[in-house]
Amino acid sequence: MTRRLSLAVFLAFFVACLPLAGSAQAADASGDKDATAKPDAKKAGTDTNLKAGQQAKTPAKPSSSQKKAVVTDVQVYSGRDYSRIVVVLSGEAGRRWQLLPPDPKDGGVRRLYVDMDETVVRAGVPSRFDVRGDVARKVRLAPFKPGVTRLVVEVENLKNQNVFVMENPYRVIVDVQGEASRKEPGKESPKDQPKAQAGKAGIPLEKSGKKGSSPVVQGEKPGSPGVNLATPERKKMAKQLVEQLGLTVRTVMVDAGHGGRDSGARGVGGLYEKNVTLEVAKLLGKHLEKMGFEVLYTRTTDKYVPLEMRTAMANARKADLFVSVHCNAHGNPNSSGMETYSLNLASTPDEVRVAARENAVDPRRISDMQKILDELMHASKLTESREFAKSAHQTTLSQARKSLNLRDRGVHEAPFYVLLGAKMPAILVEIGYITNPSEGAKLKDEKYLDGLAKGIAEGVKGYKERIERFADKN
C-alpha cells in the first residue's frame, strides 16, 4: 500500500510539472528569456493623425529569426514646404513614432521621432543631414538603446505628417508637409530650390530642356442663360479661388516606369517595358511643351529610380499633375487593352494583380498595402485623380484606335506605391500589353507611341481646361 501511495504521489507531481516544462521549452525555443516581461507595446494600432505627444506603434511581422535588420541607407528628398525621409533596411522592423510638442527653448521647433526595433546601423551610413526647405530642418539617425535605432526629424511650420512603409527593400518613409508660403512666381530664393540628398550622393531632379514655358492658354469661358459669369468681379473671385485651392495646372511630372536594373515586363521579341515607357515619356513631354506646359521628368535615361523617389520629386518641385507610364503584362498572351489607374483601394482580382506587379510584391501583400493606404487616404487627392484618369484615358484611347483596334479596359483604382503620397492629382497609364503579340509589335512603332503620347497630352490639356474654366488668366 505504501509503495502504491508513493507511486501515485510521484505521478501526480510529474503530471503537474508538465505545463511548466512545456512553457519553459516554448520560451527557450522562441528566444524569449524573460517570460514574465510586460506585454509587448507594439501590439497597439497605427494612427497617422496624432496630436502632439501621442504615439503611433506598428509591429513587425513575427519572425523565427532574431537577426537584427540593418539600416543600409538614409535618403532625404526636399523642396519648399515638403520633405520625404527614407530609411532603407535589410529586413522588416517594428516601428513606433511620435510627434513631440513645440520646444519653447528652440524657437518652437518640433521633433518627430521614429524608433525601429531590432535594428543596427551599417558602418558608413551618415547620422546627420541638414535639410534645405521650410519644413524639415535637420535629420538625425543614431542608436537609441540596445537594438533600437531612432530617427529624429526637426520640423517647423508643420501642416501634416505621415509615416508608412514600403517593401523590396523594406523602407520606413516619413513625409512632412508645411503650410504653403505665398511667394510670387519667379522670385524663389536659393533656399526654395528642390534638393535631393542620399546616404552617399545626391540624386538630381530632372527637368525638360525647355525654359520659360508659359501656361496653357485659357479655354472657352462657360455661360448659361440669365447668368453673366464674365463680370470683372466674378473673374477676380474665380481666379482667387482657383489659386487658393491649388487648382492651377502649369507643371506636369512625367514618370517613365521602371528603368535601370528594374526592366519591368519583358514582351515579344525581347522588348523591355523600361525602354517603351521611356520613349513614351519623352514623346509625351514634347507634346506637353508644345501646349505650353512646363515638363519635369523622373528619368530621361535608362537608370533606376526608387518608387518612393518619384512622387517625392513631384512633391518637392510642386508639380501640378503626375503621370506615370507603364506597359501591362499577363501570362495569357491574348490579354490586351489599355487601362488607366488612380490611387485607391483595389476591388477586383485584376486590380490587385496589376498593383502587385507594378509594386513588385506578392499579390497577397496587397492587403497590407491597402491598410497603409487606408491610413493615408485623407491626404490624397483621390477625387481629382479619378477625374484626371477619366480625361486622360478617353483621349489616349481615341488616338490609339486610329492605328489599332485597342480594347478599352476602362478606368480603375488600385494601391500603387508610385502614386502613394502624391500631393497632386496622379495617374498611372497602362498603355497596352507588352506580352500580347499584336500590341507588343505596335509598342515598337514610334509613330504609334507618339499617338499614345499625344492622346495622354490631350487628356492633360482637357483636365486643365475643365478645372480652370472659370478663371480669367489673360
The highest-confidence range among 200-204, 312-316, 368-372, by mean pLDDT, is: 312-316
- Note the pLDDT of residue 443: 95
Provide the grid cell at 376: 493615408
Q: Flag the least confident range among 67-81, 118-132, 139-153, 361-375.
A: 361-375
**pLDDT tens digit sequence for 401-433:** 887 788 999 999 988 888 888 888 999 999 999
pLDDT, one tens digit per residue, over 170-191 is 999 999 998 865 444 444 444 4
Tell me which of 103 and 462 has the higher pLDDT.
Answer: 462
pLDDT at 284: 97
Longest dimension (CA), the chain: 113
Closest CA to 307 of 90, 47, 84, 49: 84
Residue 42 has pLDDT above 60, yes or no: no
Burial of 217 (0-12, 13-18, 19+ CB in 10 A): exposed
pLDDT band for position 226 (50/70/90)? very low
Q: What is the mean pLDDT of the chain?
A: 75
- Residues 204 and 198: their CA atoms lie apart, in Å, by 10
139: closest CA among 125, 118, 123? Answer: 125
With 50 as the cut, is the pLDDT of residue 95 above it? yes
Higher pLDDT, 318 or 363: 318
* pLDDT tier for residue 437 given thresholds of 50, 70 and 90: very high
More confident residue, 103 or 247: 103
In this predicted structure, the answer to whether residue 323 has a pLDDT above a threshold of 80 is yes
Q: How confident is the model over 272-289, as a mean pLDDT?
A: 98
| Residue of higher predicted confidence among 305 and 383 | 305
At 272 the pLDDT is 97
Rounded to 10°, the helix 446-467/273-290 angle is 50
Closest CA to 158 of 137, 177, 140, 174: 177
User: What is the identity of the amino acid at 189?
Assistant: S
pTM (two decimals): 0.69
pLDDT at res. 120: 96
Of the pLDDT bands very low, low, confident and very high (cuts 50, 70, 90), residue 68 is very high
If you average pLDDT over each of 60-69, 108-117, 391-400, 401-410, which comes out highest?
108-117
Residues of the chain with pLDDT > 90: what percent? 45
Compute how many other C-beta atoms are within 10 angstroms of the C-beta atom of residue 223: 10
**Cell numbers 508637409 correspond to what residue?**
177
Rounded Cα–Cα distance for residues 64 and 233 (Å)? 68
**Residue-level pLDDT at 217:** 26
